[in-house]
Structure 1
């Protein structure tokens, strides 16, 4: 089984190409940018440029005390010779190393997370092919791709992921479901692209090779949001990288499980049949979206994280062994269940990320968010997320946590008499209502004036907001879609259940909804 000349020059340095500009052997280092940055920081300099702390502990004593003087010295602006300026600079070399390590034709380093990568992907698709051509996207796409749909003026069509009604979570898309969604497009409609997610938040891995073939057969590139799979392909016991399975563009939230600093990420272009067309479009979108003052600290962390993944097989293996031990001890304990043990019920799941340990705490009489809060406050154990029924532990490559402490704390959680009722409420959510028709492009709906109307009066109106009921967290309506009676009933039902809420609603009580005026 997530001046004009200066702007261009600054952004142009943070990409890798297949040209000799990025020959990493020139520097004799496996982390050329990080090493060059450390060397620059060690020089005796007088800084009369930005950032304003000037790497001077006396000028910024608070920063120096909090972060240390070394961080100040390595916090430098772009466009410095010997770092990111000129042909074959260390940053270009680091980007080439990253592209090679991940199996990419080209890699971009990002300093605003995988959310930036999703928006770049959407903007690139906006310029790809006819303006009216649709994009087929997984309905549970991250909100940043929905933002990209608005920014890029895209016309979306959707394919539903599989949904686990018991746990109130969604997984991925099967090749059959994607094929059906593509066949349902209008006559002569060739999609701009297909956007899917793998792995899921819970570690479920979709059949990327088959999905890429389905997308390519329809003449469309496959974009994979692999925010949670930055480590894939770096150990034989991990799933393969989506790039090596045929994906054309891959979003990688490197800080999640790749080990870089928070808010750093990568975007990878594959070697597929659409690479020649996509590369200049992605690069143009990158220059639009990336800061002209990108953080040298985040860039260096990406360089270091890639090196650690590429040369850290044994450390990755240690983390996998620790995750296996945690799962085994939970099973033997008898009180809780491991969520991934039930993944064989879903034909869209072909593999599981072993570094994600999802625990069914409701089976042991504990409400998910309550379990997470107690473990943090009482035991100092921080888990990634919680749903009404589950908590998820993330064991990053190289991390070997105190498994005994975690298991002991889990089994010391008090039984919650109301937990069973909460779980029953999750299970009663039932089938999701079909989205209403798309009356106008999401971008048009977002930019038009909006008004709040009573929820019942919103039926038949065009939504100005994206609304997603939790559980399971799939957008039920997007800007531009018509609000239906079934949708209103569903949202009210979820909002009334224990732990249920609707993200994006202008009124948390759902007395009103925001519609296009």
Structure 2
């Protein structure tokens, strides 16, 4: 036995990271692998991969269905799923290797199996485009409810319990409710209150919490959206969401493209579970990456044991906000989300009416428009000239994320940002004509019917007034600005072309990069 093997004799089932430990022990064994993947775990078989990634990565790249890892009656893989469910206070968890986009498609398929096919889902209109993809696959109908929107900053927030209740009242045949929490900019609604509304209307609540994987692991962060907790503003004790989508790789620390799907508690979650199982089989890869699965196991343990590290990163994010406020040139956009500690909506409502009950402290949203700069140009120039990469930009804002355990050079960021001049035409807003976030066009067809209908590609100006066959979304954040079945408006065309022409612009689903043509129902 080699020294490396002597270090790997712990029973994986006793390890705090059972799947990762079982994988590590298998990689350390002297095994002649005559199996896929083609490199066979042999660094000599793929010298370029080995030189680029390191030899250990190839050894850990193990195919599925190995006894002692994920094959058997009770495996380290299953134990890791149990530990993840405990960590996020779920009743059950699924590991995913194609991101929360896969989770959204699974959720849509599960809702397609759940209830009658003709029953719609009441869904937040600012959902991610992958849920619309799932609607196409599942043949779901939806009644969309608009979130509150900051028109000046071009930011969509959330849906209040009152607005969700009104939408469910208007759709008495709905079979589920679907909302987003937190938003891309960290606006977080009262999930237990939303769950209480959904359950009072006799439907489960599905939450796209792609950006909330770190929630519940530090007292300065909101709780896990799947946890049993208090419903907002005196509505009493209640469950969290019934099904929760999480991009664990975003702010949970796992490798890119790894994600989790969490099942809640109570009768609605139990009713959904067999349909989620069925949808998972349809969407699951038969060649799941062991590297991504292990990263989920390790990230979960890192979050559970990393409160101090998370706290340091949250403090760094607050220092960044403080430094920007102190300079006085730019504003912190999220300061407008919460007024003197009281949650607000765009209309200024308070209490149970609000769509924002908390703001993710790890995100720093900077209104550079207040300092005469264009957000998209700032994001591009900061990376090109200063080696500083922001997560997202709008016309007015850039968004910085300080992930758990991250310690960015704050002075470098602040100094570089303030070095950009308002008289520099490359980044200045002077003479810039803004394209406001467009209202959705009228819905004339079901999403699936429009997506599968005979279609033609026409010049963009000729598409106005016609029904879209595609889902088109400015990316990031990936919220569809037009979806199949909706009428294309002149404002939507102008907005998408504006995004496509921006320095960091990209429109997901577009026929061509400049959005000069659009696909419409014939």
Q: Which moved more, 1:445-454 or 1:497-506?
A: 497-506
Q: Distance in 2 between matches of 1:108 and 1:496?
A: 39
Which of the numbers 433, 441, 458 marks the counterpart of 1:435? 441
Residue 192 of structure 1 pairs with residue 175 of structure 2 = yes
The residue aligned with 1:405 is 412
User: Aligned pair 1:215/2:222, yes or no?
Assistant: no
> Cα deviations across residues 218-248 of structure 1 (Å, max 9, x unaligned)?
1111111111100000111111111015100
Give the match for residue 491 of structure 1: 493
Aligned to 2:53: 67
1:260 aligns with 2:254: yes
Structure 1 residues 30-84: Cα deviation after superposition (integer angstroms, max 9, x where no partner)? 0011111111111011111111101112211111111111111110001101100
1:311 aligns with 2:316: no
Tell me the residue number matched to 2:389.
382
- Whole-angstrom distance in 1 between the partners of 2:150 and 2:433: 14
Instruction: Give runs of aligned pairs for residues 157-176 of structure 1, distance below 5 A.
Output: 157-176=143-162
CA 1:333 to 1:451, structure 2 compared with 1: closer, same or farther past 3 Å?
same
Instruction: Please state if 1:364 is matched with 2:371.
Output: yes
Tell me whether 1:294 sits opposite 2:300 in the alignment: no
Q: How does 1:24-423 map to 2 (within 5 A)?
A: 27-185=13-171, 189-244=172-227, 245=229, 246-344=240-338, 345-346=344-345, 347-416=354-423, 421=429
- Does structure 2 conserve the Cα–Cα contact (< 8 Å) formed by 1:175 and 1:348? yes
Task: Give the C-alpha shift of residue 303 in structure 1.
Answer: 0.2
Distance 1:40 1:312, change over 3 A: same
Q: Structure 1, unaligned stretches of length 5 or more?
A: 1-23
Judging changes above 3 Å, is the alpha-carbon distance between structure 1 residues 423 and 97 closer, same or farther for their aligned structure 2 residues?
farther
| TM-score, structure 2 as length reference | 0.87
CA distance in 2, matches of 1:445, 1:79: 40
- Residues 469 and 491, structure 1, Cα contact 8 Å, conserved in 2: no
In the aligned structure 2, how far is the partner of 1:396 from the partner of 1:299? 20
Offset of 1:423 from its aligned partner? 9.1
* SS of the residue 2:322 aligns to: helix
**Cα distance in structure 2, aligned partners of 1:472 and 1:38:** 36
Secondary structure in 2 matching 1:243: coil
Alpha-carbon deviations, 1:447-503, whole Å to 9, x = none? 2221134556546543212245799975343212344xxx23553477469849865
Shift of 1:510: 5.9
Task: Call closer, same or farther: CA 1:297–1:422 in 2, change over 3 Å.
Answer: farther
Contact in 1 for aligned 2:121/2:141 (Cα 8 Å): yes
Query: For 1:133-187, what per-residue CA distance to the aligned partner results, in whole angstroms no more than 9, with x for missing partners?
Result: 00111111101000000001001110001111111111111112111211222xx
Contact 1:190 1:220 in 2 (8 A): no
The answer on whether the counterparts of 2:440 and 2:482 sit within 8 Å (CA) in structure 1 is: no
Contact (CA 8 Å) 1:77, 1:295: kept in 2 or not?
yes
The alignment status of 1:506 with 2:500, answered yes or no, reads no
How far did 1:378 drift? Answer: 2.0
Give yes or no for contact 1:315–1:397 (8 Å, CA) kept in 2.
yes
- After superposition, the Cα gap between the structure-2 partners of 1:420 and 1:90, relative to the gap in structure 1 and judged at 3 Å, is same
Contact 1:168 1:472 in 2 (8 A): no
The 3 A distance-change label for structure 1 pair 168 and 28 is same
- C-alpha change, 1:457 and 1:359, in structure 2 (3 Å) is closer
CA 1:29–1:447: 2 relative to 1, 3 Å = same
Q: Is the 8 A contact 1:175 1:211 kept in 2?
A: yes
The structure with the greater share of residues assigned to helix is: 1
Work out whether residues 162 and 170 of structure 1, in 8 Å CA contact, stay in contact via their aligned partners in 2: yes
Change (3 A) 1:433 1:406: closer
Structure 2 Cα separation of the partners of residues 63 and 192 of structure 1: 48
Q: 1:251 to 1:120 in 2, by over 3 A?
A: same
Matched, 1:444 2:449: yes
Measured after TM superposition, the shift of residue 300 of structure 1 is 0.4
Shift, 1:368, TM fit: 1.2
Structure 2 gaps of 5+ residues are 1-9, 230-239, 339-343, 346-353
- Find the counterpart in structure 1 of residue 236 from structure 2: none
Contact 1:495-1:501 at 8 Å conserved across structures = no
The structure-2 alpha-carbon separation of the partners of 1:74 and 1:461, relative to structure 1 and needing over 3 Å to count, comes to same
Query: Contact (CA 8 Å) 1:335, 1:363: kept in 2 or not?
Result: yes
SS in 2 for 1:429: coil
Contact 2:369 2:429 in 1 (8 A): no
- Aligned residue-pair number: 485
- CA distance in structure 1 between the aligned counterparts of 2:25 and 2:474, rounded to whole angstroms: 50
